[in-house]
Structure 1
Amino acid sequence: MENKKSLNAKRLTKRQVQELIESEERLHEEFTEFFEETYSTGYKNQPQVYELSNDRFLFVFDPKGISIPGRGDIYAKEYFLRMIQWTQNVREDYSNGHGSSVAHWFYYSKHRVQLVNKIDELIDELVRCLDISHDQLDFSYKSLDILSSKAEDYGSEKIQAELYDNLVAYVGEVIRRRVKGHWIVREDYPGCEYPIVSVNQGVLMPVNVVWQELGGLEPMNLRKEAANEVRRFSLRYR
């Protein structure tokens, strides 16, 4: 488990973990059970979760594990609950066969390959649903900050169910205009075709950008991920 958002600057040692447990021993049985995993090899990973004072949780790596047994991290309650929801979503996506960006978008998409013919219509719908003015959505990177904030308020699950295509359309247009590309449908996965932005025999994937931000642990940041997609393209094809 990542510890970059933990409240402790460095991962806690086994001794520090034990001292915390002894002073505030409140094993959270439900969350402990949630994080248990049995791998195909038969190995069972059994981390532990303790509820601490001041709305904090202590995540302890499996005391009998191989890499960092018994060490731990402390998380704020709000972030930890978000991490649990993220873990649950990832498990469900993979078990249902849509763990990749393309498979995930294809599963939730209302328009699928017709998206490339409905860009303006989808952006108009996005403006109405998220209560954004057309002036704010000027296809700049800055506009992606506004869109990220509005989408976060709307809720990632609602966006996923209702406005997935709309986000792909707008993010794709921002990217397309920046690299002077054009929309095409990629058909390398028969039965799971998807929209991309093509330029100079290279491709950029707005589907990847939206998928990364919808499924992330952090608040949505479409600007950052769109810029990363353009940067990766520039390094590879230019």
Structure 2
Amino acid sequence: MGKKKSLNAKRLTKQQVQELIESEGTLHTEFTDFFEETYSTGYKNQPQVYELIGDRFLFVFDPKGISLPGKGDIYSRDHFLHWIRWHQRVREDYVHGRGNSVSHWKYYSKHKVELINKIPELIDELIGCLNISPDQLDSSYKSLDIVSRKAEDHGLEKIQAELYDNLVAYVGEVMRHRVAGRWVIREDYPGCEYPIISANEGVLMPINVVWQELYEYEPMNLRKETANEVRRFSLRYR
């Protein structure tokens, strides 16, 4: 279930899980069905979800599975529902062929390759929608912490649907200032064009950073991923 954020300090043993189910657990059939998954080998993974007293959920690993059979973890209701929404987005993207940064950005982008001609407007829109003071967006790494927090508050589903290009524009501007680069459109093949930052015959990919942070279950951290992208560029092209 992503990185561990369970309420229990250690994973519950099979015996502890059974005692908890008997004392207060109610099987949540909808969520149990949600997590059932059949692999290409034909193997069916069937974990179970129980609702507990106090707005908590118990996630039980497939009792007949090979890995951690019958063991479990307890999660707060808010955390669990957040994870389910994230899982739904990942599944939907996978089904519709949006499993990489370029295809994902291309689907949600409002401006496509025209993005590079609208950088100031996109950043102004980001400032307005996220209620950020213009002087806070100074193309520094620190400013990305502000954007990350504001984006989380705004809701990542809304960010993905409404402000994807805006995040790409601002992340790209931070990169551009770091490496003295310029915006260009890269074409891998006809129909696959996307914006990059070009510098010293190398490229940086702002859409990789934004996609990674929208796709990641953990809270958005644009500073970390942008710094990683710049670091990879510096090691390879400088």
TM-score per shorter chain, which class?
over 0.9
Q: Shift of residue 37 of structure 1?
A: 0.9
Q: Shift of residue 82 of structure 1?
A: 0.6
Mapping for residues 134-153 of structure 1, pairs under 5 Å: 134-153=134-153
Paired residues of 1:3 and 1:11 also in contact (CA < 8 A): no
Give the Cα separation in 1 of the matches to 2:193 and 2:211.
16
Q: TM-score, normalised by structure 1?
A: 0.93
Amino acid at match of 1:119: I
**SS state at 1:193 partner:** strand
1:107 aligns with 2:107: yes
Mapping for residues 25-174 of structure 1, pairs under 5 Å: 25-174=25-174
Q: Shift of residue 3 of structure 1?
A: 4.6
Give the Cα separation in 2 of the matches to 1:102 and 1:152.
22
CA shift digits 1:9-52 (9 cap, x unpaired): 33222222222222222111111011011122221110001112
Of the structure 1 ranges 26-35 and 143-152, higher mean CA displacement relative to structure 2 is found in 143-152
Q: Which residue of 2 aligns with 1:177?
A: 177
Q: Which residue of 2 aligns with 1:195?
A: 195
- Residue correspondences, number: 238
Give the Cα separation in 2 of the matches to 1:15 and 1:235.
51
CA RMSD of aligned residues (A): 1.6
Amino acid at match of 2:122: L
Give the Cα separation in 2 of the matches to 1:35 and 1:112.
35
**Gap change, CA 1:32 and 1:189, over 3 Å in 2:** farther
Of the structure 1 ranges 76-85 and 221-230, higher mean CA displacement relative to structure 2 is found in 221-230
Q: Which residue of 1 aligns with 2:21?
A: 21
Give the Cα separation in 2 of the matches to 1:131 and 1:188.
36
**SS state at 2:129 partner:** helix
Q: Shift of residue 84 of structure 1?
A: 0.3
Of the structure 1 ranges 189-198 and 73-82, higher mean CA displacement relative to structure 2 is found in 189-198
Give the Cα separation in 2 of the matches to 1:3 and 1:162.
27
Give the Cα separation in 2 of the matches to 1:126 and 1:21.
47
Q: Shift of residue 224 of structure 1?
A: 2.0
Q: Shift of residue 189 of structure 1?
A: 4.0
**SS state at 2:203 partner:** strand
Which runs of 5 or more structure 1 residues have no equivalent in the other structure? none
Paired residues of 1:3 and 1:73 also in contact (CA < 8 A): no
**SS state at 2:51 partner:** strand
Give the Cα separation in 2 of the matches to 1:58 and 1:231.
40
1:224 aligns with 2:204: no
Paired residues of 2:2 and 2:217 also in contact (CA < 8 A): no
Identity %: 78
**Gap change, CA 1:13 and 1:151, over 3 Å in 2:** same
Give the Cα separation in 2 of the matches to 1:237 and 1:21.
57
**SS state at 1:228 partner:** helix
Paired residues of 2:183 and 2:196 also in contact (CA < 8 A): yes
**SS state at 2:137 partner:** coil
Give the Cα separation in 2 of the matches to 1:235 and 1:52.
50
Give the Cα separation in 2 of the matches to 1:119 and 1:98.
24
CA shift digits 1:98-125 (9 cap, x unpaired): 1211111000111111111221121122
